[in-house]
Amino acid sequence: MVIKMIFNSLTYFIFLFAVVILYWSFSLKARLYLVFFSSLLFYGFWKVEFIPVMLVSVISDYLLALKISTNTNKVVKKRLLLLSLIINLGILFYFKYLIFFAENAIGFANLVGISLDPLLLKIILPLGISFYTFQTISYTVDVYRGQIMPEKNFILYACYVTFFPQLIAGPVLRASEVIYQFSKKSLFKFEHIIIGVRRIFYGLFLKVVIADNIAPLVDSGFSMPIEAMGALDVWTLGFLFGFQIYFDFSAYSHIAIGSARLLGIHFPENFNFPYLANSPKDFWKRWHISLSSWIRDYLYLPLAGIKVGNKSLGGLEKATLIKNKNKPLFIAWAIMGLWHGASWTFVLWGLYHAIVIFVYRLLLPILKNFNQNLKVFFGIFVT
């Protein structure tokens, strides 16, 4: 039997308890090594073969960031940054998208009369690869932009990338938000334990009590033949699935935030009741905040030629209000959709949100004239 260290397993909580006890007993240097090697152990529980893949991303960006910082030649700095992007996006493409694009290429070739046999690719997607590659990319880009200095202590830097609470399901962290917390020896406070345990229990309630009980209803509903369902059935299943993924994903974020807090590490919030948003602008300020903030600072705003920040706060709220930047809007949202999964349905999901944002921009001058209470009520319903 293979034991996987999922957040709602007894294995994880035994592991977490041991790490917390040791962490508060150790010196600063010992804490860093504890976090790094325990994170590798946590990741290895899923599949040991995944560890070298992650370390390639970690080591390459550590070295490239140091080179970027010390080099004064702008052309060389750009080339080093490009190399970082090629390594990280290459890893991501191979493990997550190669089969998808290969199958599409074969399908297109067969469509135009060129007979090609399907590729028998057996590629296992490493857990958390979309998260840690985005974190290392943001680190190197921030160093290139001069927003942060590269971290010379490899173990300290590696703790930021591999830190086990956020390794599998986020939040997508920025180096400027986390590394400084590991670099100082924080004092033990019962407040950390109380807040951490409370957040973990809250996350477990969302996962075990709500999400896991909605899941069988959704699975059985989606397994029914379409002709056996009425419109009300389809709407009900759609809403149930929406709540399932929200409670499931936000639960993992709560447990991650709580687990980190047990070690005195503060994570930014990742969800803020997104289904109570009263506009697309408000929704993208509340949903998967760390990812949408990453897309804002490293994709949308650079494409739009607008100054960027390096904080995983605010989500894509700012991007929803920028007019006359429609091309970056659709590119960014299509890529965000593809980030979620290697399928055209995910791309369409992203483009759907881009259209919603585009329409919202057009209607914004009209909406300003509405009664505030009516606008909020109607906005929540529509959103």
pLDDT in tens, 64-96: 999 999 988 999 999 999 999 999 999 998 888
Max mean pLDDT range (89-98, 106-115, 129-138, 196-205): 196-205
User: Mind listing the pLDDT tens digit for each residue in 197-242?
Assistant: 999 999 999 999 999 999 999 999 989 888 888 999 999 999 999 9
Instruction: Quick: pLDDT tens for 28-59.
Output: 999 999 999 999 999 988 888 889 999 999 99
Q: Which of 192, 254, 340, 353 is catalytic?
A: 340
CB 221 within 8 A of CB 205: no
Please give the Cα distance from 68 to 148 (Å, whole number): 12
- Reply yes or no on whether 340 is catalytic: yes
Top mean pLDDT of 98-112, 145-159, 366-380 is at 145-159
For residue 241, CA distances in Å to 217, 325, 344 come to: 9, 32, 19
pLDDT, residue 36, reads 96
Q: Which of 64, 87, 55, 61 is nearest to 162 (CA)?
A: 55
What gap in Å lies between CA 285 and CA 317, rounded to an integer? 5
pLDDT band at 125 (very low <50, low <70, confident <90, very high): confident
Beta carbons of 277 and 380 less than 8 angstroms apart:
yes
Give Cα separations from 279 to 238, 361, 363 (angstroms). Answer: 20, 11, 11
